[in-house]
Homo-oligomer: A and B are copies of this chain.
Amino acid sequence: MTDDDFQTSAAKSANTRLACPQDFISDAPFEFELGGSVPSLTLRYETHGTLNADRSNAILVCHALSGDHHVAGQHTPADRKPGWWDAFVGPGCPLDTERFFIIGVNCVGGCQGSTGPLSPNPATGLPYGADFPQLTMRDMVRAQRLLVRGLGIERLHAVIGGSMGGMQGLVWAVDFPQDTGRVVALACAANQNARAIAFNEIGRVAIMSDPAWRGGHYALGAGPKAGLALARMLGHVTYLSEAGMGRRFGRRAQEGACPANVVVERGPFHAEFAVESYLNYQGLTFTERFDANSYLAITKAADRFDLAAGRSLEAVFAPVRARVCLIGFSSDLLYPPADNHDVLAALLRAGKNATYTELETDAGHDAFLLPTAELFQAIRNGIE
């Protein structure tokens, strides 16, 4: 079976379930690591499978920058797309809902129902916008833990996630060793490297230089559409690889009506190639589902991520009790696989149970989203 066949069959079998988003509300003020607070915290989440009697079978799924709590299934039968990890979650899937209780949660600072820049600022009654407290990865993890405890779970069987979600898995292992049984961290690193910061910064400047950003205070639906589309276009390229883009698009010409014209009036500079049209379309549709201030807040949190923060990684890993399974992808542009070697070495030197599995692929950073037999087995091994 080829990877493509595998993906098709995996998608067919899994995407016919309904998922029901719920809101967890913590009425206490939530203090942010870099200062500021919100008077209460709402976290939108969804679950799959059944929590067992001793509450020992929960797996927390942490999403990447543009993801959310909606990991699998459909919210309504009319939904065009299922959750972002649909093929990975279900009966018999790597995150087997017959064995495990799967929790997906939108991060604090997000825009899919959790407290974030779209939430009302009690000082003004208007959305926080750019006045939402500055965010870190640790804020997201502390918020997730409130939810986990709220669900009556003392210890997670596992925390799993890709990209920013993988970083959060590492934070769980370090900050809450008692609570974290296993970590499966895909396509990530122990800090944000200079180039990843640079790509995020370009996306931010694109948003902030769009006049519709208005200093971070725009009306709902009137946000910086072109700027956010640009940020997404760039993000999207960094999630792919040169070889993968060559295979998928190459120099194929754009034929027929070009949705690229929708993002911006281009005069005579048409989108001549399929890859241009595709990117414009991706950028455009992203603006329909994502908030620009959330994009700023979350990319800032990712850029600030530095697990060692001036200490040695080995020392930082000392408290870890979790078994840690790192999974990297050969063509990942954002977090080159070599970065995992340092994380693995530090975990081993700290005497921890850790492995690193590197998968050969031309799917780039996005490989963690694509079902393949190899990745499924690597994840099974990690949460076993």
* A208 and B266 contact, Cβ closer than 8 Å, known pairs A250-B194, A251-B192: yes
For chain A, which range describes its interface: under 10, 10 to 19, 20 to 34, or 35 or more residues? 35 or more
List 9 tightest A-B contacts by C-beta distance, closest first. Answer: A209-B226, A194-B245, A209-B264, A130-B267, A201-B276, A194-B249, A195-B242, A194-B275, A216-B267
Which of A42-50, A164-172, A179-187, A299-307 binds B? A299-307
Residues of the B chain whose Cβ atoms lie less than 8 Å from the Cβ of A193: 242, 245-246, 250-251
Which of A77-85, A230-238, A365-373 binds B? A230-238
Q: Can you add 4 more A-B contacts, CB < 8 Å, to A204-B269, A251-B306? A: A197-B251, A197-B276, A206-B206, A216-B268
A150: Cβ under 8 A from any B Cβ: no
- Contact in complex: B210, A209 (CB < 8 Å): yes
A62: Cβ under 8 A from any B Cβ: no
* Cβ contacts A205-242/B at 8 Å (1 or 0 each): 11011110001100000000011011001100100111
Residues of the B chain whose Cβ atoms lie less than 8 Å from the Cβ of A276: 197-198, 201
A286: Cβ under 8 A from any B Cβ: no
B-contacting residues, A251-276, CB 8 Å: 251, 263-269, 271-273, 275-276
A199: Cβ under 8 A from any B Cβ: yes
A103: Cβ under 8 A from any B Cβ: no
Residues of the B chain whose Cβ atoms lie less than 8 Å from the Cβ of A216: 267-269
| Complex Cα gap A259–B264 (Å) | 28
* Cβ contacts A284-302/B at 8 Å (1 or 0 each): 0000000000001000100
